[in-house]
């Protein structure tokens, strides 16, 4: 459980240091993991709506989809 919390913290706070948007490939590289499905289901989807949002909300599985941190990400 500790590892999950640290990784989610890393994803939401460290990953967006100065960048406006991140692609899934950038998130994978930052987390140093390989499984797109694992990262998407365990880290990205739980944060959508609260700390992350889609850049293309009408096309969530688009290959050009990017993610942007919400203002809530930087509050804590």
- Percent of the chain scored above 90 by pLDDT? 13
Domain CATH number, residue 18: 1.10.10
Task: Read off the pTM.
Answer: 0.70
List, in order, residues 6 or more apart from 24 with CB less than 8 Å away.
Answer: 36, 39, 40, 44, 65, 67
Domain total for the chain? 1
Convert the pLDDT of each residue in 48-70 to its tens digit: 888 888 999 999 889 999 988 87
Decide if 65 contacts 23 (C-beta within 8 A): yes
Closest alpha carbon to 18 in 76, 73, 55, 60: 73
pLDDT tens-digit series, residues 1-36: 556 666 666 666 655 665 678 888 888 887 787 888
CB contact at 8 A, 31 and 25: no
41 has a pLDDT exceeding 80? yes
The helix (H) or strand (E) run that includes residue 22 is strand 21-23
Owning domain of residue 13: 2-75
The answer on pLDDT for 73 being more than 70 is no
């Amino acid at each position: 459980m500790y590892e999950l919390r640290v990784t989610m913290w890393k994803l939401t706070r460290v990953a967006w240091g100065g960048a406006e948007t991140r692609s899934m490939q950038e998130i994978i590289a930052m987390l140093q993991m390989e499984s797109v499905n694992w990262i998407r289901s365990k880290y990205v989807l739980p944060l959508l709506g609260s700390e992350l949002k889609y850049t293309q909300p009408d096309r969530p599985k688009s290959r050009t989809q990017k993610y942007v941190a919400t203002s809530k990400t930087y509050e804590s």
